[in-house]
Amino acid sequence: MCGIAGIMTQKGTRPDLSLLDRFKRDLRHRGPDGDGVHAAGNMAMLQTRLAIIDLETGDQPLFEPGGAALVANGEIYNYLELRQELSDVEFATHSDCEPPLYLYRRRGAHFASALRGMYALAIHDPAKETLLLARDPFGIKPLYYVEGADFFAFASQPRALINAGLAKPDIVPEHREELLQLQFTCGRGTIFRAINRVQPGETLVVRDARVVDRHRIAALPEPAGPAPSIGEALERLDAALESSVLLHQRSDVPYGLFLSGGIDSSVVLAMMARLNDRPVRSYTVGFTGTRVSDERAHARALAARVGAEHTEVDFSEEDFWALLPRIVADMDDPAADYAILPSWKLARTAAQDLKVVLSGEGGDELFAGYGRYRSLSRPWWMGGRNIRARGTFDGQGVLRSATATWRDGIAAAEITATQAGRSRLQVAQATDCADWLPNDLLAKLDRCLMAHGLEGRTPLLDPAVAAVAFNLPDELKLRDGLGKWLLRRWLEKALPEAHPFERKRGFTVPVGEWILKDGRRIGKLVADCPAIREIAWPEAVTRLFAANGKRAGFAAWTLLFYALWHRRHVEGVDPSGSVLDVLSAR
């Protein structure tokens, strides 16, 4: 896990190497263990390193005999198998990121199809004057780029490009509306006008500072053959989980697990306990003194059952008001997901002991765990409806201009996801995997963990697991009013103390409860922010913050998030104070 950045100039001019120092400053938190630079011709690039595999010889850039250089962020989990396939190669290191260089030399721009892992990497071939950028199929690791008038630049985070003077923090209104209504933004474009994302699974080919070709690897498998029996499906699932968790534990440093007590992280816990001789190190967060469900007792019991070394973290109302500006400052590609709050503090605690944690992200998308999937399966007269049909602010009377265009990105993803042989449920799952997963959940995981130099791994987001899970018949995903049915069946046998078929309230954060306690004062400060006045009616904002109810609470949270985000990432306000300090700053 690291930070990478680089710049290619046009017409053979040499890039300004001082830009690398600016990149390093903004990416140091992602790679505190060292840095390396490559500069040749019209190309210069940098890596800041978080050392996880090959601690002695794995510094980057990495090179191959033909002169190509690589910088990477992430892990190639099947690197040992790739080294065996490349048996004629004399590798210079034990790094997991060296095999992609030799695959590039043999397969060109299609090299990434052999990789199993999470990655955002850059390969520069001076002889061909070519730059390749590649991102893993699920979009676990981020990568952004800017095409300027006479340059092409890339970085692991948008703020590195902005602070280097290569892009301005100009807001795209359409993406701002997506953020407000969906809590994330869709597609290639970001909320910043000049900055784009390398799409999940995409490889870009860049020459003379211009994108000249694109290739893409699908995260989800093609329709499979006949439906398996329950027994066959469980056997395939067990083999896929064991393979994935085993690979995701490849590390030369200690690793642990974020254990929420839910189905997905409990599945990972059960498999880690099977595969490890030493106790698993697990971390759980909860909220004391609130009305929301607290899973710490359940997680504690599961950890005790498998003999894990367990740590509990409390996220309090005081933490909310004190830490929120710093947390929002780390979300430079914004996702107004309140799960950033516990994730950030949990990462800060775990980073004191470890450099790697596994989590259960992706289980809901691949195994159909969300309630919206169950709603989708019902006819309209029984409450069924399309996913994300209603935005956060629909019917609230708060926004100055409320249009239906906020759903255009989701609609485009739905069209792409609608393929022959896919059920309506699979289309919904594929739609979520296109945007919600990489641009909200995985962005949250990346920013919150990397803020503390901690690597996050997601063994449920693995090709072997996806090949089993996504192609399951709908009735093995949704049954008896529950999602993730087959995964629950597996967990019932592997760790029955998890009580996987009991209905749980689900994980939530009491942001609405906390905001309402001081809603009138906070609402007035939010309403007075220029960024909020531009998009919302001030009187309606203050009323919203004083209103009770789940929808009003989430809308108030979204406006608070956006106000703080704009203060930091557009206005440049120091985020080191409390929420009141940052909102009041002039």
Dist. CA 195–CA 188, nearest whole Å: 9
Contacts of 221 (CB under 8 A, 6+ apart): 463, 466, 467, 470, 471
Please name the amino acid found at residue 196: N
Please name the amino acid found at residue 189: G
Assigned token pair, 538: 């001030």
H or E element, residue 543 = helix 538-546
Assigned token pair, 14: 């040499």
pLDDT, residue 5, reads: 98
Bridge partners, 130 (sequence order): 125, 207
Cis peptide before 223 (omega within 30 of 0): no
Q: Closest Cα to residue 262, out of 361, 403, 344?
A: 361
pLDDT, residue 272, reads: 98
Please name the amino acid found at residue 443: A
Q: Closest Cα to residue 38, out of 124, 127, 128?
A: 124
pLDDT < 50 positions in the chain: 380-383
Dist. CA 491–CA 470, nearest whole Å: 18
pLDDT in tens, 489-542: 999 999 999 999 988 766 789 999 999 999 999 999 999 999 999 999 999 999
Global pTM reads: 0.96
Instruction: Please determine, looking at this structure, whether the domain spanning 2-216 carries the CATH number 3.60.20.10.
Output: yes
Dist. CA 209–CA 207, nearest whole Å: 5
Please name the amino acid found at residue 346: L
Other Cβ atoms less than 10 A from the Cβ of 530: the count is 11
pLDDT, residue 506, reads: 65
Q: How confident is the prediction for the chain on average, in pLDDT?
A: 95
Q: Closest Cα to residue 1, out of 31, 46, 32?
A: 31
Residues 429 and 368 sit within 8 Å (Cβ to Cβ): yes
Dist. CA 169–CA 159, nearest whole Å: 9
Task: Just give the CATH number of 230-385+442-498.
Answer: 3.40.50.620
Dist. CA 254–CA 308, nearest whole Å: 14
Annotated domain spans of the chain: 2-216, 230-385+442-498, 511-584
pLDDT, residue 8, reads: 98
Dist. CA 436–CA 150, nearest whole Å: 33
pLDDT, residue 378, reads: 61
